[in-house]
Structures are given as structure tokens and as C-alpha cells.
Amino acid sequence: MTCILVGLDGSAAGERALAHAKALSRLIGDCELALAFVIDWSPYSFHTPEELAERHKRREREIDQARDYILAPAAKALEAEGFKVSTEVRHGDPAELLEAMAKAKGAEQIVIGRVGERGLRERIFGGVTGKLVAAATVPVTIIP
């Protein structure tokens, strides 16, 4: 079975990426859409024990929110249309984790939106798409 990893972030660009991945999946036939949400998270911060406890709680809330409000509804809609779907939420560097998730799933391709929630900041300073294209071991399709 072919697998396409789709990076979602709740943005309109992510929705367009998902629509493109659906179209590819229909053409392929036996294909799984692996929906991924990566919460940008740096492990390189120094915190007090109290701050670490709060950070852990916030991390768990963010995972739940991404799963409940972005991935679960998308997966439910895709399954209703007959698509094979899996979902995963992770914390860390989005480009590194999308590449790692693609390898772990044996994905043939990664599909992401060009400009997500970060918008202008990414256009000026570069972002996930540029880092992912530079590091990916599978084709990356970037949807405008």
C-alpha cells in the first residue's frame, strides 16, 4: 500500500494540501493518508521544576487540541469518503519530525501547505517548507 504523509496545521494552506493528497490517493488507489500535526517545540529551554510541570501540562493540552480539533475531524471526514487514514501528533522541530514520520510510515511522498499559521514570519526568515525540502528523503509537494 502507498502512503502519503500530509502535514496539517489548521490553516487554509493545510486544507489545500489535504485536498491535493486526496486527489493523489484517488489516482493511486490502494493508498493511506497519514495526517500529521507537529507542534513546534524546543527542548533547549531552561526552566524551574514548576515551569517544567506547567510546560508538560501545556504540551498535553496542545496535543489534545491538535488531535481533537484538527486531526480527528479530518480523519472522520476522510474515512466517511472511504479513505484509509492514520493520524499522529508530535512535538518538536516540524521539518525534522515530518521527515522522521515519513520514514517511519514508509511514505512515498510528503504533502504540505506552503504558508501555514506562521505566515509572514516564515516568508521572511524561511521555515518548515524550506527545511523539509532540504532534508527530505522522499518527494515533497508544497501546495500554495
For 78-113, write each residue's pLDDT tens digit.
999 999 999 999 988 889 999 999 999 999 999 999
* pLDDT band for position 125 (cuts 50, 70, 90): very low
pTM (predicted TM-score)? 0.85
Query: Does the domain spanning 2-143 belong to CATH 3.40.50.620?
Result: yes
Distant-in-sequence, close-in-space partners of 119: CB < 8 Å, separation ≥ 6: none
* Distance separating alpha carbons of residues 63 and 82, to the nearest angstrom: 26
The number of residues in the chain equals 144
Reference 88, options 74, 109, 67; nearest CA is: 67
Place of cell 480523519: 75
Which segment of 10-14, 50-54, 58-62, 105-109 scores lowest on mean pLDDT? 50-54
pLDDT value at residue 131:
86
* pLDDT band for position 121 (cuts 50, 70, 90): very low
* pLDDT band for position 144 (cuts 50, 70, 90): confident
Tell me what the mean pLDDT of segment 115-134 comes to: 63
pLDDT value at residue 45:
63
Which segment of 26-40, 81-95, 119-133 scores lowest on mean pLDDT? 119-133
Residue 51 pLDDT greater than 90, yes or no: no
